[in-house]
Structure 1
Amino acid sequence: MAEFDGPPAGGEVLYESSTSRVVWGDCRDPEVVRQVPFQYDLLCVDPPYGVGYDSGRSATFTKIAGDDGSVRWPAVLAEWVGPPGTHSRGLADARHLYVFGYRPDELTTPLRLGGSAELIWDKQKTGMGNLAHPWGPAHELITFGVHVKRPSDRVKGGGRLSARLRRGSVLHYPRPNGGSAVRHPNEKPISLLSDLIESSTMRSDLVVDPCAGSGSTLVAAVLCGRRAWGVEIDRTYAQRAAERVEAAEKIAAAQLTC
């Protein structure tokens, strides 16, 4: 598989329907950010963590763009929720976000969170990790947060009582193993993403993922009856995401006619 080749300025739409859009683009590109619909309903994103992931299967997966520790992802995501001083751009006021790989204290200020919680994804499998350590990684952090645009509302406690469904903070979903993770090295289970989406949105709400990978979040959104809007910087993964979203829309449409 070829190494990463950057997208054009402003991105390129690979798939678009009345309910979904998949863009091959760089989520740090201001022209791409400006295309995101104002007042969308949920941000659900798994940004590269800067760990220099190496799957050991270079013939299967490309290196993950942005996974070298050089990108300040909280600052990037702040543009997607709407930077300080904006009240209509980005994520709608008092709506939710889920960010994989970060603690709430790292995101509270840049993402203007009125309330937050640290969730643990129990992957039910032990990864390789650093073999010099006696403990192998078997979980992943997820920050749940409520985006509150006005500082005065955050001071008053806005967003602290926000959950539609109150559940435990440890989420038990097996991760795709080496044989089944064929689309992306960090592929997330649809069941996990579906539960996050259903806990924080209503049908027809718009779910946004600026680091879409192979499109699992977008697929989960479509299958849950939501709209989906995603961006992926790697052309190969973006094309996979586009194909998966189109297929998911056909499945969702068939279910509606049953």
Structure 2
Amino acid sequence: MTGPFLLLTGDCRDLMPGHGPYDLILADPPYGETSLAWDRRVSGWLQLAARALKPHGSLWVCGSLRSFMATADAFHTAGLRHAQEIVWEKQNGSVFHADRFRRVHEVLVQFYPESARWQAIYNAVATTDDARARVVRRKRRPTHTGDIGAASYRSEDGGPRLARSVQRFRNVHGRAIHPTEKPVALLDLLIRVSCPPGGVVGDWFAGSGAAGVARRLAGRRSVGCGIDPAMAQRARDRLAAILPFPVGDSA
């Protein structure tokens, strides 16, 4: 690739493989759960994406449990192995049926090639500094019989603890330029954890360009692809407003 960011217009299956290899691929494909014209599952892209990864690369895919169950065979056929998943908790969500729980979450799953060892995959362990691990020691043990008197404790701050697998980020309702736009902060987290500094992120379903904003915050390079020319231009305009350099494009 040339430059820090390139946004292509067209089918990711045709355009994205030639711009790899990628340290990390982010994918938010249509889930195929509604009757909307654009919500149609895309076939064949997973095998191409798997082959476009660098030896230490991995793939994060957004979806619902329903969509992952429906496409499980495609991940197996592409030679991809499950690594881990996180749940994105929203402050509000979607209601598809009046007789079921309101869905206020989505699932993001990380995969890596079956031919690779997990230890070889780039993985900057996600930790949180807002609540540190604590080691609690009882300074005076109470008796085991009779009344248990007051006991004193001493707490020692430990190192930062692992980030939780349930992550809460506000969605972008009312501010989004795409109907399924993901929060920049959520994508920024994935990029920092799974793409090395200076690495290249492949955003195979670029949509609003949110991943491009996130990779800019994280200091990575990226190639994105959107099939809708009008939306792709809106994404370029969005990126151009925050980037101190031109946003490349290709038809």
**Cα distance in 1 between the residues matched to 2:53 and 2:81:** 13
**Matched residues, percent identical?**
31
Q: 1:26 aligns with which of 3, 6, 11?
A: 11
CA spacing shift, 1:125–1:53, aligned 2, 3 Å: farther
TM-score (norm 2): 0.72
Q: How many equivalent residue pairs?
A: 203
**Cα distance in 1 between the residues matched to 2:20 and 2:195:** 16
After TM superposition, the structure 1 stretch with the greater mean CA deviation from structure 2, 204-213 or 164-173, is 164-173
Provide the residue aligned with 1:124 in structure 2.
Answer: 91
Whether the aligned pair in 2 keeps the contact of 1:189 and 1:216 (CA below 8 Å) is yes
**Cα distance in 2 between the residues matched to 1:115 and 1:94:** 15
**Cα distance in 1 between the residues matched to 2:228 and 2:105:** 26
**Cα distance in 2 between the residues matched to 1:245 and 1:110:** 35
Give unpaired runs (5+ residues) of structure 1. 1-15, 55-62, 83-89, 252-258
**Is residue 195 of structure 1 aligned with residue 189 of structure 2?**
yes
Q: Which has the higher contact order (CA 8 A, sep 6+)?
A: 2
Whether the aligned pair in 2 keeps the contact of 1:103 and 1:118 (CA below 8 Å) is no
Runs (4+) of structure 1 exceeding 6 A deviation are none
The structure with more strand, counted as a fraction of residues: 2
Give unpaired runs (5+ residues) of structure 2. 127-162, 246-251
TM-score (norm 1): 0.70
Q: After superposition, where does 1:30-179 map in structure 2 within 5 Å?
A: 32-38=15-21, 40-52=22-34, 64=38, 67-69=39-41, 71-72=42-43, 75-82=44-51, 90-101=52-63, 103=68, 106=72, 108-127=75-94, 129-148=95-114, 150=115, 153=116, 158-159=117-118, 162=121, 163-166=123-126, 167-177=163-173, 179=174
CA shift for structure 1 position 145: 1.8
Could you list the per-position Cα deviations for residues 77-124 of structure 1 after superposition, in whole angstroms to 9, with x for gaps in the alignment? 221221xxxxxxx11113121100154982642343345112211112
Amino acid corresponding to residue 78 of structure 1 in structure 2 = Q
Aligned-pair Cα RMSD in Å: 2.5
Task: Give 1 or 2 for the bigger CA radius of gyration.
Answer: 2
